[in-house]
A and B are shown apart, each in its own frame.
Chain A
């Protein structure tokens, strides 16, 4: 392409004392608003999504490798070897044995179930290290007969740090109920006594040594590994190997690769933190896509504005187009004059929009406080979004898509009138006058 179209495009953009420059500036404003709003809203959304993932990663095990069948096979014995093999892999930063299950805690007249993870107190247990950050009260020490619960659950139980709680294995309580029910209550005394002698309820007195903040550390409880093994009837086995990964965001791919490379035996499967919270993560992602779709309409209307401007310009320059065509300028050159003019409008609008978007992002929390003070309503309540300030994270990929969409919509909008303008018969155009 020669520079002639650009030269003319620039000239047409700078007509002194002409109304065309005014409508061009207004079109730029439209593009600017579209880009600015998209950058702002998508950044806040991405930031929120990121914070949400961070929050989950802050307490959820990155991945757990677990036996596929009930732990009655050989897997019970070879978990130590597997743990060793997994911990030497480069993508794994920590591999610890865990025993997961549900326990039932007694409180005044009620039994309340809670899911717990049993784990060791080793220093190389990174899951333990990251959970320590959410400590609310007490000492995060998994030694002896102790349990750690979320502050919310402790409140429901009416328990304080230092209290002793009676904890049962949920399965054994169910088993107990079943067996008590199977023995008819009016059965002969002796028979009933004998039957009940064979029933066991696995229960322990555990000291509540610490509470964790439920809003950042989830509802789960934690107990020492040996206690969990007893509760869940594992006899020295484990229910899984917990892995902390170097790149938890790619947990799915990392685990898939590890499984394919044979690091995980056939009798073991795995699950990641993303699978654990799949529905939530998906709904956040859906909202993001929906938002994208809605905000795209701003851009669409902005490009309509650009189209209007291009129509006006092509009509104003009808005579010139006639002359250019008469002098042998080809149709695509005429088209490129007006399309590149729209391109310049789009580029300036995009740059201004980026500047505006980033400016408002930088003052978002001040803005929130101002709006709250003015309207008296909190527009980002902490109990719903679990964050005290509005997050923001600008993804370069998003940014690129926003800018590319803006520019291509404007170019497409300009193409239609430019094409019509280029088809003008020079004789007609010159005869009609401008």
Chain B
């Protein structure tokens, strides 16, 4: 048991005035603080990057897309039936039919290409457009019939501003036109050739560019309404499948598995999840974070060496006192308690100052970076840029584990010298 006497002596030994012991104690505290500081700052920033990457994916990718395999369209009725079943599920924020496809865009002879258009029902797009609207740059982001929201680089290539009319045509139309033209132009007979030319059409649609999105956060998607897309892709009343948004997108895999076992996904359909895009990258990021933490733990280990050194020095200095205490009947556990609690104090103070410093570093991380950039002559990054600020995510349980681990290492380091000191024969100690 740690008695008051033990703590009293531990405090006394720490406050040795005018002694080098206080200097080496302070230096040990510094070592522990540096270890805690590095572990917390590096892990928080790495976690921040990971979280930022997840957020970008969750905020720009549809959480789940259910669609027939090989990208064949399906009837609106079937999609509506699936939507009704999906909406009844607990984790689902909302769901609706969607159409996706690639289109070419053109304005005044300028061409561009939108890799994927996502089209949603005009009256039921709010649940999805809400999250996309965060990446809006210009114009109106509420889907209107005959309107298109496109990535900023597409607008730049077309030199288009919100309100401008642009023509779009499905990339499948281009393929068909090229194929037909190739066959037609091989035809030697002029009449037949000219007859074949009649089928070469791109079926361009005039639509209004109504807004732009920041592509680095919102991805390469363009958005329009279901009926507009049905015209562009010549789908009649068909749709591509069902788009689902979840309350907790992090659980997407479990949710998709549950849909599959519950039989909600029609046979021949498949589910694309938002994690498909960055799964391997995310796994690697969390992997690197754990490895980094292990490497930085070595700082704490070396700091514990410093604490051990201090404890050895103190026990040697106090050898006589230990002899006296033992002769007076102090138990071994009490002697050990004196030195271990002294190390605990060093560990706790070091951890606390490390914690405070890491809080400061994390709070001012962007100012620190700006300072370094200024010193090294670089400019400050544009505030609009993606990752213009260093992300950081603080996990309380992780910080708790780091602090407790750091203190535990200090205690562990103090234990062997304290135990050896307590075994001293009082007669020998007093004689020496």
Contact = CB atoms under 8 A, between A and B. Distances in A.
Contacts of B291: 379
A305 B174 CA distance: 71
Interface string B2-27: 00000000000000000010011001
B363 interface: no
B295 A177 contact: no
B109 interface: yes
A110 B175 contact: yes
B394 interface: no
Residue from B42, B106, B111, B194 whose CB has the most chain A CB atoms within 10 Å? B194
Interface in B181-205: 181-182, 184-185, 193-194, 197-198, 200-202, 204
B24 A379 contact: no
Given A29-B305, A383-B280, A23 B313 contact: yes
B305 A305 contact: yes
27 contacts: A22-B312, A23-B313, A26-B309, A26-B312, A30-B302, A166-B179, A166-B182, A173-B178, A176-B177, A177-B202, A178-B109, A180-B177, A189-B194, A197-B193, A199-B181, A201-B178, A297-B299, A298-B302, A301-B35, A301-B303, A304-B34, A304-B303, A308-B27, A311-B23, A381-B280, A384-B280, A384-B283
Given A176-B178, A192-B197, A309 B309 contact: yes
Interface string A94-120: 000000000000100111000000000
A39 to B, nearest CB: 13
B25 to A, nearest CB: 9
B130 interface: no
A33 B294 CA distance: 13
B212 interface: no
Interface string A276-301: 00000000000000000011011011
B302 A185 contact: no
A203 B287 CA distance: 47
Interface residues on A, range: 35 or more
A185 B38 CA distance: 67
B178 A27 contact: no
Contacts of B181: 176, 180, 196, 199, 201
A431 interface: no
Contacts of B204: 181, 185
Contacts of B104: 177
B341 interface: no
B174 A34 contact: no
Interface of B: 20, 23-24, 27-28, 30-31, 34-35, 38, 42, 102, 104, 106, 109, 111, 167, 171-172, 174-179, 181-182, 184-185, 193-194, 197-198, 200-202, 204, 280-281, 283-284, 287, 291-292, 295-296, 298-299, 301-303, 305-306, 308-310, 312-313, 315-316
A41 interface: yes
A174 B23 CA distance: 76
A106 B34 contact: no
Interface of B: prevailing SS: helix
A298 B298 contact: yes
Contact of B316 (A19, A185, A200): A19
Interface string A195-235: 01101110100000000000000000000000000000000
Interface of A: 19, 22-23, 26-27, 29-30, 33-34, 37, 41, 106, 109-111, 166, 168, 173-174, 176-178, 180-182, 185, 189, 192-193, 196-197, 199-201, 203, 294-295, 297-298, 300-302, 304-305, 307-309, 311-312, 315, 377, 379, 381, 383-385
A301 B171 CA distance: 61
A22 B311 CA distance: 12
A181 B200 CA distance: 11
A297 to B, nearest CB: 5
A377 B309 contact: no
Contact of A174 (B42, B111, B308): B111
Contacts of B109: 178, 182
Interface of A: prevailing SS: helix
Contacts of A200: 185
A311 B20 contact: yes
Contacts of B313: 19, 23, 308, 312
Nearest to A302: B302
9 tightest CB-CB pairs across the interface, nearest first? A193-B194, A384-B284, A305-B306, A19-B316, A23-B309, A30-B302, A315-B20, A301-B302, A308-B24
Contact of A307 (B27, B175, B194, B301): B27
A203 B182 contact: yes
Given A177-B104, A178-B111, A381 B284 contact: yes
B277 to A, nearest CB: 14
B308 to A, nearest CB: 6
A177 B286 CA distance: 46
Given A33-B302, A305-B31, A308-B306, A193 B280 contact: no
Contacts of A111: 171, 174-175, 178
